[in-house]
């Protein structure tokens, strides 16, 4: 993490506040705190912000505030950041069925790492994963903190269609596909929960700074939850992070 | 119901407004009209909110049956618009009636044409926008480009459009095949050698066939990185000039993804994006550096021009008597 954030211009209407050049929970926390501080400040002219692994993209209207003045205000906010302001992180429980047709690559992941399928499930579902950012497709969470014991390279040939809800592994990363999309991740399971619903408010289930916990379920539970999701009756369990 | 019916859809005709603002943090692309100037002026000409949804036609325009009495305005690329087989003016409010046929053909200057309807287009907002994001099957009309037989509701009853509204010829842009667009360097210009930056600012780049609403891949002198082509993903804006490992720049446009892991050497300033939007494969572009301060002054001038246009549209009009044209100015006494 840098001593002081860098302000980088991104054209006439945006700037990037860069906090570091690595992926770490500390930088993520700083981003979360700064994001909330900017939101709270009610700074005139801010249009929207996009938090990422190590930066915040700030879009603003120069008719309200010019670049130099905005940098000055942002520096003030950064200097006055304190820990007390941020809310405790939430853990969103994602019920997941592992293996079978839902996770066709789980046996490869097991073989690749000299593990049994049950061990892969045990390792994958025993941690809470920090949501660093959303991007790539609507609602796609970039999760951090997967165990190296189940690291597996991407497929050599990507699949043309991966069903929404698929849980996968790519290298050191794990993730969930919110919508049907092509992709090269090793698929180990699937959740019946909807991560993206354009008609909902907010349209996504997960937020940067929160955590994801995968909870193994069987096919009967999967079908039950899927039906509830389709009837709009399902709500996810949310726990507080135990430190 | 007031509506329009698509007789022939053209190559890529979509419903667009100013885009899905405030949802990028969820990974949802902005979309929206590619040419901000032509889009906003089209709305102004028919008395709409500047950011009301319009039709954006690309390269080959649509044929449309008008199913309402009211006004339209056509701006942007010249697709030789005709109403019932008779040529009509662009950059003016045009009165239309139920049963009229509006036909556009191939673009002879520019690439994208905007058709605004007095009162606006009556499709529902999804995430606060009527814009179509085709890759995500989101918004607009069923999340897709328009097709033959589609019937699109028009809110003609809400129209505040008036007859004979126009913009001064001096404000009508000319669309060329070779252009200079201005850029602010960064956010990752420090990943390039000074020579690479010089090359970028002093070379001509050709737009390749891979150019769409998401971005334009360019062909020209390769740009070499000093710190490597990949960064930890960060946010992308409209106009971001990405340079992946192959060294050829890509200018990101309206349907761009929200984040990406390639270095961005520079950003095309927003008042010059309409120039990019009207260029297509085979056209060439050069980049000229401006400071952030200069870019914001250019933006202020751009916004002032649009304000002036709006004022003139609201306070003057033209009437045609046989072959004579009269300009009427409205002044409060």
Whether residue B19 lies inside any domain: the answer is: yes
This complex has an ipTM of 0.94
Q: What's the pLDDT at A184?
A: 87
Q: Which residues of A107-123 are buried (b: 16+ CB within 10 A; e: fewer)?
A: eebbebbebebeebbeb
Q: Which of A17, A63, A135, A139 best probes binding to B when mutated, by most B CB atoms within 10 angstroms?
A: A135
Contact flag A198-B138 (C-beta cutoff 8 Å): yes
Which H or E run includes A160? Answer: strand A159-162
Same domain, B162 and B205: no
Which chain B residues are Cβ-neighbours of A10 within 8 angstroms?
184, 186-187, 235, 237, 240, 264, 267
Instruction: Please tell me the distance from the alpha carbon of residue A76 to that of residue B48, in angstroms, as a whole number.
Output: 40
- Taking CA–CA distances from A179, the nearest residue in chain B reads B136
pLDDT(A86) > 80? no
Nearest to A57 among B234, B295, B303 (CB): B234
Residue A95: how many CB atoms within 10 A of its CB? 22
Task: Band the pLDDT of A242: cuts 50, 70, 90.
Answer: low
DSSP state for residue B158 in the 8-state scheme: G
Per CATH, which fold does A6-85 belong to?
Gyrase A; domain 2 (3.30.1360)
Choose the most confident range, by mean pLDDT, from A18-27, A176-185, B113-122, B254-263: B113-122
| Dist. CA A137–CA A135, nearest whole Å | 6
| Mean pLDDT to the nearest integer, B145-162 | 97
Q: Find the CB nearest A203 among B26, B235, B239.
A: B26
Going by pLDDT thresholds of 50, 70 and 90, the confidence category of residue B18 is very high
Structural tokens at position B172: 């009508």
Span B199-203, average pLDDT: 98
Q: Is B237–A13 a contact, with Cβ atoms under 8 angstroms apart?
A: yes
Same domain? For B107 and B226 the reply is: no
CA–CA min distance B180, chain A (Å): 16
Instruction: Identify residues of B whose CB sits under 8 angstroms from chain A CBs.
Output: 21-28, 126-127, 136, 138, 183-188, 232-237, 239-240, 257-259, 264, 267-271, 292-293, 295-296, 298-300, 303
| Count of structural domains, chain B | 2
Write down which residue in B126, B147, B174 finishes a domain.
B174
β-pair partners for A130: A144, A211
Token pair, residue A225, equals 């939850």
How do residues B70-98 score in pLDDT, each as one tens digit?
Answer: 999 999 999 999 999 999 999 999 999 99
Q: Is the domain of B87 the same as that of B144?
A: yes
Q: What fold is seen in the domain A90-240?
A: Cyclophilin (2.40.100)
Contact A52 B126 (CB under 8 A): no
Q: What angle do CA A97, A102, A108 make, to 5 degrees?
A: 100
Instruction: Let me know: does A18 contact A12? Beta carbons within 8 Å.
Output: no
Same domain, B21 and B165: yes
Q: What is the pLDDT of residue A88?
A: 76
CA distances in angstroms from B220 to A128, B117, B208, B223, B230, listed in the order given: 47, 41, 10, 9, 20
Instruction: Provide the phi-psi class of A66: left if phi over 0, else alpha when psi is between -120 and 50, else beta.
Output: beta
Domain boundary among B156, B174, B192: B174
Provide the pLDDT for residue B317: 87
- Exposed / middle / buried, residue B115 (Cβ in 10 Å: 0-12, 13-18, 19+): buried
Residue B323 backbone dihedrals phi, psi, to 5 degrees: -105, 5
Same-domain status, B148 and B191: no
Q: Quickly count: other Cβ atoms within 10 Å of residue B194's Cβ.
A: 9
pLDDT, position B326: 82
Domain shared by B10 and B149, yes or no: yes
Quick check: B300 and A62 CB within 8 A? yes
Q: Residue B63: CB partners within 8 Å, gap ≥ 6?
A: B6, B7, B8, B10, B101, B102, B103, B104
- A181 pLDDT band, cuts 50/70/90, is confident
CATH number, residue B210: 2.40.100.10
Q: Which domain holds residue B142?
A: 3-174
What is the number of other CB atoms lying within 10 angstroms of the CB of residue A219?
A: 11
Give A23 to chain B, closest Cα distance, Å. 8
pLDDT at position B233 is 85
Residue B68: pLDDT band by 50, 70, 90 thresholds? very high
Question: What confidence score (pLDDT) does residue B65 get?
Answer: 98
Does B137 lie in the same domain as B124? yes
**Contact yes or no for A11 and B267 at CB 8 A:** yes
| Per-residue pLDDT at A160 | 86
What's the mean pLDDT in B92-111?
A: 97
E-strand stretches of B32-191: 54-58, 63-67, 70-78, 82-83, 86-87, 93-96, 101-103, 109-117, 151-153, 178-185
pLDDT digits (tens, 9 = 90+) for B184-194: 999 999 999 99
Are B234 and A49 a contacting pair at CB < 8 A? Answer: no
CA distance A210 to chain B (A): 13
Q: What value does the mean pLDDT take over residues B259-285?
A: 96
Is residue B233 domain-resident? yes
Query: Which of A1, A2, A7, A12 is the best mutation test for B, with the most CBs of B within 10 A?
Result: A12
Q: Residue B323: inside a domain, yes or no?
A: no
Range A85-98 average pLDDT: 86
Q: What are phi and psi of A120, to 5 degrees?
A: -60, -45
Residue A117 has pLDDT above 90, yes or no: yes
Q: What are phi and psi of B231, to 5 degrees?
A: -125, 170
Q: Which residue has the tokens 């165990």?
A: A147
- Please report which confidence band the pLDDT of residue B13 belongs to, taking 50, 70 and 90 as the band edges: very high
Res. A84: pLDDT tops 70: no
Residue B292 has pLDDT above 60, yes or no: yes
pLDDT band at B260 (very low <50, low <70, confident <90, very high): confident
Residue A83 scores a pLDDT above 70 = no
Q: What is residue B332's predicted lDDT score, i.e. its pLDDT?
A: 76
* pLDDT above 60 (res A85): no
Mean pLDDT (chain A, rounded)? 93
Tell if the CB–CB gap between B25 and A11 is shorter than 8 Å. Answer: no
Do B252 and B195 reside in the same domain of the chain? yes
Together in a domain, B241 and B275? yes
> Which of B145, B174, B203 finishes a domain?
B174
- Of A22, A62, A133, which has the smallest distance from its Cβ to B296's Cβ? A62
In a domain, residue B300? The reply is: no
Average pLDDT over residues A184-195: 95
* pLDDT tens-digit map of A216-227: 999 999 999 999
Q: Which residue has the higher pLDDT, A161 or A66?
A: A66
- On whether both B87 and B8 belong to a single domain, the answer is yes
The number of angstroms, rounded, from the C-alpha of A110 to the middle of its chain's C-alpha atoms is 25
- Measured between alpha carbons, how far is residue B136 from residues A157, B129, B131, B182 in Å? 23, 14, 11, 31
A112 — phi, psi (to 5°)? -60, -30
Do residue B15 and residue B118 come from a single domain?
yes
Residues B68 and B166 in one domain: yes
B210: its two tokens: 């891979």
């Amino acid at each position: 993490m840098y001593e002081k954030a860098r302000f980088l211009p991104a054209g006439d209407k945006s700037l990037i506040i860069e906090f570091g050049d690595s992926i770490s929970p500390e930088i993520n926390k700083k981003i979360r705190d700064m994001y909330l501080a900017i939101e709270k400040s009610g700074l005139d002219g801010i249009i929207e912000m996009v938090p990422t692994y190590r930066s915040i993209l700030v879009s603003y209207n120069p008719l309200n505030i010019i670049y130099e003045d905005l940098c000055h205000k942002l520096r003030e906010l950064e200097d006055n950041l304190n820990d007390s302001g941020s809310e405790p992180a939430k853990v969103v429980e994602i019920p997941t069925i592992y293996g079978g047709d839902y996770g066709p690559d789980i046996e490869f992941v097991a073989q690749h790492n000299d593990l049994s399928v049950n061990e892969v499930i045990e390792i994958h579902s025993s941690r809470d994963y920090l949501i660093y950012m959303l991007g790539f497709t609507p609602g796609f969470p970039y999760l951090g903190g997967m165990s190296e014991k189940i690291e597996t390279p991407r497929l050599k040939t990507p699949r043309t269609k991966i069903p929404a809800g698929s849980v996968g592994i790519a290298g050191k990363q794990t993730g969930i596909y919110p919508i049907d999309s092509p992709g090269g991740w090793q698929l180990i399971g699937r959740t019946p929960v909807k991560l993206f619903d354009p008609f909902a408010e907010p349209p996504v289930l997960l937020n940067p700074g929160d955590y994801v916990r995968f909870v193994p379920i069987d096919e009967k539970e999967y079908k039950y939850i899927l039906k509830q999701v389709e009837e709009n009756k399902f709500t996810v369990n949310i726990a507080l992070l135990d430190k | 119901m007031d509506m329009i019916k698509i007789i022939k859809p053209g190559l890529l005709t979509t419903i667009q407004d100013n885009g899905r603002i405030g949802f990028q943090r969820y990974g949802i692309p902005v979309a929206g009209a590619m040419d901000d100037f032509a889009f906003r002026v089209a709305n102004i000409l028919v008395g709409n909110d500047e950011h009301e949804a319009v039709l954006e036609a690309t390269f080959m325009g649509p044929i449309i049956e008008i199913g309402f009495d009211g006004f339209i305005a056509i701006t942007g690329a010249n697709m030789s618009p005709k109403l019932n087989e008779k040529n009509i003016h662009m950059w003016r409010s045009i009165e239309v009636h139920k049963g009229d046929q509006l036909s556009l053909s191939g673009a002879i200057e520019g690439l994208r044409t905007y058709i605004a309807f007095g009162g606006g287009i009556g499709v529902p907002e999804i995430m606060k926008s009527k814009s179509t994001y085709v890759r995500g099957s989101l918004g607009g009309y069923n999340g897709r480009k328009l097709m033959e037989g589609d019937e699109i509701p028009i809110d003609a009853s809400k129209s505040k459009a008036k007859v004979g509204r126009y913009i001064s010829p001096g404000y009508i842009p000319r669309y060329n095949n070779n252009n200079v667009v201005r850029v602010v360097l960064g956010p990752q210009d420090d990943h390039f050698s000074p020579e690479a930056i010089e090359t970028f600012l002093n070379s001509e780049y050709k737009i390749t066939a891979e150019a769409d609403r998401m971005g334009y891949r360019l062909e020209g002198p390769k740009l070499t990185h000093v710190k490597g082509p990949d960064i930890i993903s960060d946010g992308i804006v409209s106009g971001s000039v990405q340079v992946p490992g192959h060294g050829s720049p890509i200018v990101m446009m309206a349907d761009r993804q929200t984040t990406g892991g390639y270095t961005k050497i520079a950003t095309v300033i927003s008042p010059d994006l309409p120039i990019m939007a009207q260029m297509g494969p085979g056209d060439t572009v050069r980049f000229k550096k401006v400071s952030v301060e200069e870019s914001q002054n250019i933006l202020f001038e751009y916004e002032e021009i649009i304000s002036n246009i709006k004022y003139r549209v609201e306070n003057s009009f033209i009437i045609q008597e046989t072959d004579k044209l009269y300009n009427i100015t409205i002044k409060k006494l």
